[in-house]
């Protein structure tokens, strides 16, 4: 609840430094190398990456808990003349999501959740991803010495998903003075 209000307030005040309007190169590289299919953007914000994917022929669904972010994403999709499904939902329950997806994208949503919510998220996620499908996760990933509950290690992050997903690649980086990483998971058969 508090987290939901936190993000709603961020969008109302326009304090959304992540909302750059530019899709990251890691997503662009994935799109270059894969045929379009069905994609779910988890914590889609104002829809920048949904628009990028839809323009490349992907059938996209965006989910976010923030009413204002969803409204802004709807406006952007309409202005771009793109068919994009936008759903206001909590990713710890995914109550309003149906069907299966070839790709799930999460840029900065998973790492904003509490431990308990991360577990619920991971448990639910496998329902939506086709066998062989991809889960592309961008998350803060601290150096070993700075690991906490809020910023868990690579091993811990991977453990949330390893029942249903194999980690196939990891690219380390930094974002606003924090270490971070792109993790690519493949859904097991």
Ligand X SMILES: C[S@@+](CC[C@H](N)C(=O)[O-])C[C@H]1O[C@@H](n2cnc3c(N)ncnc32)[C@H](O)[C@@H]1O
65 near ligand X, rule: CB under 6 A? yes
61 near ligand X, rule: CB under 6 A? no
Q: Which of residues 137-176 bind ligand X (CB under 6 A)?
A: none
Strand order across the 178-187 sheet: 85-88, 59-64, 38-42, 101-107, 129-140, 178-187, 165-175
134 near ligand X, rule: CB under 6 A? no
Among 64, 97, 140, 180, binds ligand X (CB under 6 A): 64
Q: Which of 125, 113, 151 is nearest to 7 (CA)?
A: 113
DSSP state of 113: S
74 near ligand X, rule: CB under 6 A? no
Q: Which of 71, 165, 38 is nearest to 110 (CA)?
A: 165
If phi > 0 it is left, if psi is from -120 to 50 it is alpha, else beta; for residue 84 that is: beta
Write down the residue that tokens 């889609």 correspond to: 44
90 near ligand X, rule: CB under 6 A? yes
Among 61, 66, 72, 180, binds ligand X (CB under 6 A): 66
Candidates 25-33, 87-95, 152-160, 163-171: pick the segment binding ligand X (CB under 6 A). Answer: 87-95
- Residue number, 107 or 129, with CB nearest to ligand X: 107
Q: Which residues bind ligand X (CB under 6 A)?
A: 3, 7, 18-19, 43-45, 48, 64-66, 69, 90-92, 107-109, 112
């Amino acid at each position: 609840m508090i987290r939901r209000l936190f993000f709603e307030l961020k969008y109302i005040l326009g304090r959304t430094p992540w909302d750059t309007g530019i899709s990251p190169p890691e997503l662009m590289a994935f799109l270059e190398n894969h045929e379009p299919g069905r994609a779910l953007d988890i914590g889609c914000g104002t829809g920048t990456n949904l628009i990028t994917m839809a323009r490349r022929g992907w059938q996209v669904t965006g989910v976010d808990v923030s009413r204002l972010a969803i409204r802004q994403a709807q406006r952007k999709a309409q202005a771009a003349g793109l068919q994009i499904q936008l759903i206001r939902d909590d990713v710890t329950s995914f109550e309003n999501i149906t069907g299966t997806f070839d790709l799930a994208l999460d840029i900065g949503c998973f790492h904003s959740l509490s431990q308990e919510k991360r577990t619920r998220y991971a448990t639910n996620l496998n329902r939506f991803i086709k066998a062989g499908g991809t889960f592309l996760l961008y998350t803060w990933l601290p150096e070993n010495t700075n690991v906490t509950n809020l910023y868990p290690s690579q091993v811990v992050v991977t453990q949330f998903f390893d029942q249903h997903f194999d980690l196939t690649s990891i690219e380390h980086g930094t974002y606003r003075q924090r270490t971070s990483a792109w993790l690519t998971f493949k859904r097991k058969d």
